[in-house]
Amino acid sequence: MWSVLKEAASDVLHYVVQMLPCAFAGAILFFMLLSVRRRRLVHRGLKSPVLREGALLLFVLFCAGLAALTIFPSNLWSFVISPNRWPEGTTFWSFYPTIEELSTRLQRLPEALPQLLTPFPGGIAYHFHSYWSAFLFLGNVGMFLPIGFFVALLWRRGSLWRSTLAGFLTSLSIETTQLFIDRGTDLDDLILNTVGAAVGYVLYRLLRAVVPGFTAKFTCVKV
């Protein structure tokens, strides 16, 4: 068990490192728009507390990092971070499909749709037949926990359906984009991501129950 946990921690760290380039870009965008957001809040007679700003920054960093992992080709950021580890002649664009490859993929899409739209064709147990399958299964749930959690934490009138819908629409956008960058797209990921967002909302409710009043510090206040 300990060896499995160590391997999982190593794999999680690997993905976190790949999130960093886009997370850095997200931080720049956050601070570029900070004055604009503040003016809009002042116009509405609102103020965003320090805790809320910190949580919002974390959410932006996470979303940018999630984009790095999901809407770009596999291993692209590993190449960006350590280009010398890749074969000579590898470039940024080597990870993207060519026009011909993309055209062939789209032509085959109609015949692949029945399988793509079948939820868990091998059953839930299939996802636990190996370490990597289980890691991906749990990872698809776990990486969407922040979506459901932060949506409820940062926006007034948070609810289960808002968090779940945010997770569903985010995942649907990702899965659609992956059709065009030669990555796997299937209904299982959409379902697991949406479940993850819903669980994230449950975690928010637990925090709210355990520490009454704490979550209120993360919402805008009247001035």
What's the pLDDT tens digit per position in 101-133?
A: 888 888 888 887 787 778 887 788 888 888 989
Handedness of CA 11, 14, 20, 22 (dihedral sign): negative
Name the more confident of 97 and 197.
197
Res. 67 pLDDT band, cuts 50 70 90: very high
47 pairs with which residues across the strands?
221
In a domain, 72, yes or no: yes
Return d(Cα 136, Cα 130) in angstroms, integer. Answer: 10
Q: At residue 144, what are phi and psi to the nearest 5 degrees?
A: -105, 0
In a domain, 208, yes or no: yes
120 falls within a domain: no
Domain that holds residue 162: 2-98+127-222
**How many residues does this entry show for the chain?**
223
Say whether pLDDT at 158 is over 80.
yes
Judge whether residue 72 has pLDDT over 90: yes
| Residue 213 vs residue 210, higher pLDDT | 210
Neighbours of 192 (CB within 10 A): 24
Task: Give the three-state DSSP class for 47.
Answer: strand
pLDDT at residue 26 in the model:
97
| Total domains present in the chain | 1
Cα–Cα dist 148/91, whole Å: 36
Q: Is residue 104 part of a domain?
A: no
Q: The tokens 């779940």 sit on which residue?
A: 164
Domain membership of residue 92 (yes or no) is: yes
105 in a domain, yes or no?
A: no
Average pLDDT, the chain: 90
**30-46: buried (b, 16+ CB within 10 Å) or exposed (e) per residue?**
beeeeeeeeeeeeeeee
pLDDT at 180 over 90: no
- Which of the two residues, 106 and 163, has the higher pLDDT score? 163
